[in-house]
C-alpha cells in the first residue's frame, strides 16, 4: 500500500519521481506539452475523502481542485462533523471509509491518528499535516526551489524561528534529497533531535546556530513559518513572540544570505511577525509559487499512491 505518511518513510526514488511528475503535470496544464503527463482522466471513477481536524485554505483547495482536474470526485469532511469527533474509533472510521472511497487525506493533531488511519485503511492514506510533520508542503517546496534554481542537492537551506512540524519535514527532505540544513532559533524551540540525527545519519550537514545573521551566511534558501502553530496553546503566544522576535526574516537578515537566495514560507503568514511584507512581496520571495505547487505536487502524490 502506497501511503504517503512522511518524507523519511518514502523511498528517495519515489520522492524524485513524484517531483518530476509534478513538473510534467504542471507543464501539461500550462500548455507546454513537451514530455507532458496528461492527467485529465487519471482519477476518473475515483472518490477521495479529505478529512480536516484543523483549519486549512491551501491544503483543502489544492487537494480538492487536484482531484477534480484529474476527473475524480472529492468530499471535504470536517472531523468534528464526523462520528470520529464523537467517539467512533479511528480504526473503525478507516475501515468504513475504505469501503466507500479510493483514497484518504487527513489533517489532524497527534500523528498517532494518521498512523492508525493508515494501519486500518485498505486504501492509501496521505498526511495533510500533523502536529509533527507536513510532508506535502515540503514536496511542493523542493519542486519550487528546483524550478527556480535547479537541483536542491548540496544547497544550503536555513530554517529560522520555531523548529516545528514544517521544519521537521524539511529535515526529512534534507536527508532524502541531499541538502544541508541550518536551524536558527531559540533553544526552547529546537527541532526534534531525532529528526536532526536522522538527517545527519544520511550524511547531510545539519547545523544549529543561535545567531540568525551567522546562520544565513551562504544560504541558498531561507525559510520560516508562523511563531504559533495550530496545535500550540494560545497562552504561549506572548512567550513565543518574545523568544522568536530576533529570528524575523527581514531585509537586514536576507542581505547576509547569498545574493540570489530565495525566501519561502508555507503560509499562512503573519506579516510583521515572522517575516516583513517587504520580504513577502519582494523579488526573493517564491511564496505563491510554493502555494501553487501544492496542487501539482499533490496530484503526483495521489497518482503515486494509486499507482496510476
Active site residues: 107, 134, 137, 225, 266, 294
CB of 258 to ligand NVA, least distance (A): 26
Q: Residues 189 to 248: which contact ligand NVA by CB under 6 A?
A: 225-226, 229-230
What DSSP string describes 44-72?
A: TT-EEEEEESS--SHHHHHHHHHHHHTT-
Q: Compose the 132-171 pattern: x for residues touching ligand NVA by CB under 6 A, - for all others.
A: --------------------------------xxx-----
Which residue lies nearest ligand NVA, judged by its C-beta?
229
CA count, 13 A, side-chain hemisphere, 153: 8
- Contact present, 206 and 180 (Cβ < 8 Å): yes
- Among ligand CP, ligand NVA, none, the one that 48 touches (CB under a kind-dependent 5 to 8 A) is none
Q: Say which entry of ligand NVA, ligand CP, none residue 57 contacts (CB below 5 to 8 A, set by partner kind).
A: ligand CP
Q: Does 56 bind ligand CP (CB under 6 A)?
A: yes
Q: Which does 226 bind (CB under 5 to 8 A by kind): ligand CP, ligand NVA, none?
A: ligand NVA
Look at residue 164 and give the partner it binds from ligand NVA, ligand CP, none, a contact being a CB closer than 5 to 8 Å depending on partner kind.
ligand NVA
Residues 128-157 that bind ligand CP (CB under 6 A): 129, 137
* Cβ atoms of 2 and 124 closer than 8 Å: yes
| Rounded Cα gap, residues 283 and 253, in angstroms | 15
Using CB under 6 A, pick the residue from 16, 38, 44, 57 that binds ligand CP.
57
Helix extents (H) in 178-308: 193-201, 212-215, 237-244, 251-255, 277-280, 287-306
Among 215, 216, 264, 266, binds ligand NVA (CB under 6 A): 266
State the minimum distance, in angstroms, from the CB of residue 297 to ligand CP: 12
CA-to-CA dists, residue 23 to 20, 36, 64, angstroms: 5, 9, 19
Report the distance separating Cα 251 and Cα 232, nearest Å. Answer: 28
Residues 231, 255: contact at Cβ < 8 Å? no
| Minimum CB–partner distance for residue 128 and ligand CP (Å) | 8
Q: Does 59 bind ligand CP (CB under 6 A)?
A: yes
Q: Which of 8, 23, 46, 58 binds ligand CP (CB under 6 A)?
A: 58
Q: What are the Cα distances from residue 235, in Å, to 64, 74, 230?
A: 33, 36, 12
Give the residues lining the site for ligand CP (CB under 6 A): 56-59, 129, 137, 266-268
Amino acid at each position: 500500500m502506497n501511503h504517503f505518511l512522511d518524507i523519511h518513510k518514502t523511498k528517495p526514488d519515489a520522492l524524485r519521481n513524484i517531483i518530476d511528475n509534478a513538473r510534467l503535470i504542471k507543464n501539461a496544464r500550462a500548455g507546454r506539452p513537451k514530455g507532458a503527463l496528461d492527467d485529465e482522466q487519471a482519477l476518473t471513477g475515483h472518490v477521495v475523502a479529505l478529512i480536516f481536524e484543523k483549519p486549512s485554505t491551501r491544503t483543502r483547495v489544492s487537494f480538492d481542485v487536484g482531484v477534480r482536474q484529474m476527473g475524480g470526485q472529492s468530499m471535504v469532511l470536517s472531523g468534528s462533523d464526523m462520528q470520529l469527533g464523537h467517539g467512533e474509533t479511528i480504526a473503525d472510521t478507516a475501515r468504513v471509509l475504505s469501503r466507500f472511497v479510493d483514497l484518504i487525506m487527513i489533517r489532524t493533531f497527534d500523528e498517532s491518528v494518521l498512523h492508525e488511519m493508515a494501519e486500518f485503511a485498505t486504501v492509501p492514506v496521505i498526511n495533510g499535516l500533523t502536529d509533527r510533520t507536513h510532508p506535502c508542503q515540503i514536496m511542493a517546496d523542493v519542486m519550487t526551489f528546483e524550478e527556480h534554481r535547479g537541483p536542491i542537492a548540496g544547497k544550503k537551506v536555513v530554517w529560522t524561528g520555531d523548529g516545528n512540524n514544517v521544519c521537521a519535514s524539511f529535515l526529512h527532505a534534507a536527508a532524502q534529497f541531499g541538502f544541508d540544513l541550518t536551524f536558527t532559533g531559540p533553544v526552547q524551540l529546537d527541532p526534534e533531535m531525532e529528526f536532526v540525527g536522522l538527517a545527519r545519519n544520511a550524511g547531510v550537514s545539519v547545523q544549529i546556530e543561535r545567531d540568525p545573521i551567522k546562520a544565513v551566511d551562504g544560504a541558498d534558501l531561507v525559510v520560516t513559518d508562523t511563531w504559533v502553530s495550530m496545535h500550540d496553546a494560545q497562552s504561549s503566544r506572548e512567550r513565543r513572540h518574545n523568544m522568536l522576535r530576533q529570528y524575523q526574516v527581514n531585509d537586514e537578515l536576507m542581505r547576509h544570505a547569498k545574493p540570489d537566495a530565495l525566501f519561502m514560507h508555507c503560509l499562512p503568514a503573519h506579516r510583521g511577525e515572522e517575516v516583513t511584507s517587504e520580504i513577502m512581496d519582494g523579488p526573493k520571495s517564491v511564496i505563491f509559487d510554493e502555494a501553487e505547487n501544492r496542487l501539482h505536487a499533490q496530484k503526483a502524490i495521489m497518482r503515486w499512491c494509486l499507482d496510476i
